[in-house]
Structure formats: C-alpha cells, structure tokens
Amino acid sequence: GAGVSQTPSNKVTEKGKYVELRCDPISGHTALYWYRQSLGQGPEFLIYFQGTGAADDSGLPNDRFFAVRPEGSVSTLKIQRTERGDSAVYLCASSLQIGELFFGEGSRLTVL
C-alpha cells in the first residue's frame, strides 16, 4: 500500500476484554515495529519484527500483550484482560532497513 495502515483507528472496550489491533505495513518492508504512546509522552517501544519472527520483544509490558506476524507482512497486537492503564495510542511502523521508520496514524485504545 501507499503507507502504513492501522485498524481500528479508535477502539473503546471495557476492562477485562480482549482486543486486537492490526497493522498493514508498506509493501516490501521487512521490519515492523509496535510502539505505545500516552498523552504528552514520546512513543514507547513494545516489539520489533524482522520478517515473521520477533527480533526484540523486550518492550512488551507483561504477558497480557502478544504480537504476531505470521506471513511477514500484516501484524496483529493482541491484548488480553485489558486494564484502564492500557489506554493509549498504539503506533505501528515499518522500514525497509535500519534507519527511517514509516509510521501509521495509530489505533487509539480506550479501556473503560
């Protein structure tokens, strides 16, 4: 596609529910990143994929968070048993090589 696409753009859920956020990277980009951004803060690293494998998942805050990229393209970030503290904008980015990241518009998650 022309850019990184993230869906949904907004998600409101209740505490304890399960949520999936999807990222469709730029075609041909092998690297894919997930970041989380709270209001007034910089993006916080969650996980980085190179191809299908998670090359670095050290930023995932706990085992409620999981991400997959089964075919090396689209990625899904999964959050189980959501908590109010999970409310944030979840940003996805892709890149062809180490260097410039291309970001999507983000998925705003609100946990009530």
| 90 lies in the binding site for other proteins (CB under 8 A) | no
Number of residues in contact with other proteins, rule: CB under 8 A? 26
| 1 lies in the binding site for other proteins (CB under 8 A) | no
Taking the complex as a whole, the smallest distance from the CB of residue 81 to other proteins amounts, in Å, to 26
Taking the complex as a whole, the smallest distance from the CB of residue 13 to other proteins amounts, in Å, to 20
Phi-psi group of 44: left, alpha or beta (phi > 0 → left; psi -120 to 50 → alpha; rest → beta)? beta
Q: How far is CA 40 from the centre of its chain?
A: 19
**Stretch binding other proteins (CB under 8 A), from 19-27, 63-71, 76-84, 97-105:** 97-105
Strands 107-111 and 10-13: parallel
Position 22, amino acid: R
**Measured between alpha carbons, how far is 57 from 108 in angstroms, rounded to an integer?**
21
Which residues ranging from 15 to 74 are in contact with other proteins (CB under 8 A)? 31, 33, 35, 40-45, 48, 50, 55-56, 59
**Measured between alpha carbons, how far is 79 from 23 in angstroms, rounded to an integer?**
14
Could you list the residues that contact other proteins (CB under 8 A)? Answer: 4, 31, 33, 35, 40-45, 48, 50, 55-56, 59, 91, 93, 98-106
